[in-house]
Structure 1
């Protein structure tokens, strides 16, 4: 540990998202927590053009490189080279609320040693007066960290704060063939740690621009899920039943759209329902089509590549 080391190390994995990373670093520069109390480490994971210029505009921000593909190995490299007693994880395409780190520290100070913090992720909108269809859908269904933490016992890594001592006991994140946040969260729970949802710990994520981007997101998650399912007995039957359940699930989730406080107006709710039906139909088709395919996973490839 370095002398006069910062208290918090913010670690950001990056792959072909220079513009989004620029917004992320700007949000960290605007933190209300004193800048000397935290460091920022970006770990590039094989971008076609590493973000030298973006990082170079932010004094004190480190840029590292990790050749092994996947956000998990990139985070591990950043953590290995960090100095803080507290690790704060955020994704390159996210923007932190100005009080993100300050609220995280307040919550951590009032939590037991075995506690890991997960916060709220909200959809960023350039026009706060109107909802695009995908913005409306994702405002209701994306990044439900409260649900993940309170019902499933783990938090996503796009908004996670953990003591270094806890991370060292749990171990590093897994590679690209695993849903690394779920895998790490389950290992943390087995080791006796518990996740706490902190609604004041806010991070914003832009909505996907197109249905294709949403499809790619679900394709990755479905690939992770089928990789796990193949190890279970009678997995094919279970998988087909699961796919059919996904296809019919919009009938149940209409109520969530109509009652959500995160969107407003009949138009936004109608748009969200249209996207909901399209996504669930795609997920069901993809689940069935993957039953004879390989285990390859791509975590964050530029959709224009």
Structure 2
């Protein structure tokens, strides 16, 4: 949310009016501000200017001088004012977030942090169109939330050339283009991917071996399964990237398409591993969020998983 405030310059110091006396300042400083779901941003945006405590020695009323602070208006004197400003910030920034991929990621993260229900509900109904919507949503926002289950037909598209940035290609276009289209897609379809089907069965066996209370161990077991299938632990990012480029060329040449079944990827980068982990976690109903891109990971091509626990996230 700090991105929105920084963009729109919303927030000001809690400043007293020039007409307030030192007694009024002491009273207002001793009263705690109302609670807020975004109190951390209010603290940083409003600047808590400490008021001086009243002097222990009495002084004549005629000698009391007004405290001159600033001339800016205090926008957040009440909880209602803050919520109104927050809503206006989000509303005003909606159009701006459509300008680029990075801004789309910020908007998605903002909605997630607010627990918003404005995001498309692509997992509630089954059907090919809904899977297509989920794939498109991940392309645009780089987020798959806990309740969004990756189903057969989902595909993750990656641009291999900066010249083709723009609209997401359809799965049919990717499958019919056997040459170098500038895109590379990884598809989830266990019906046509025996290796993925086997991994999902192993994941279900792991879930049976470990009760739901041992979530940390369960996550570790799934992570080891993904790591073992996709080339082992990554000690050198450049080395694994070189191996993946070689393996990717081999796969596209053998199957004559840029759409690669996720089970066939035995040398995988972080975006492949995170997607596979999400698929396996969904299989055993382990709440898992998948995020990708520089806004979440610091690196454009990286992806990570977030596991939902009862009292914390892993």
One fold, TM greater than 0.5?
A: no
Q: Comparing both structures, which one devotes a greater share of its residues to strand?
A: 1
Select the structure with the greater relative contact order (CA < 8 A; seq sep ≥ 6). Answer: 1
Q: Which has the larger radius of gyration?
A: 2
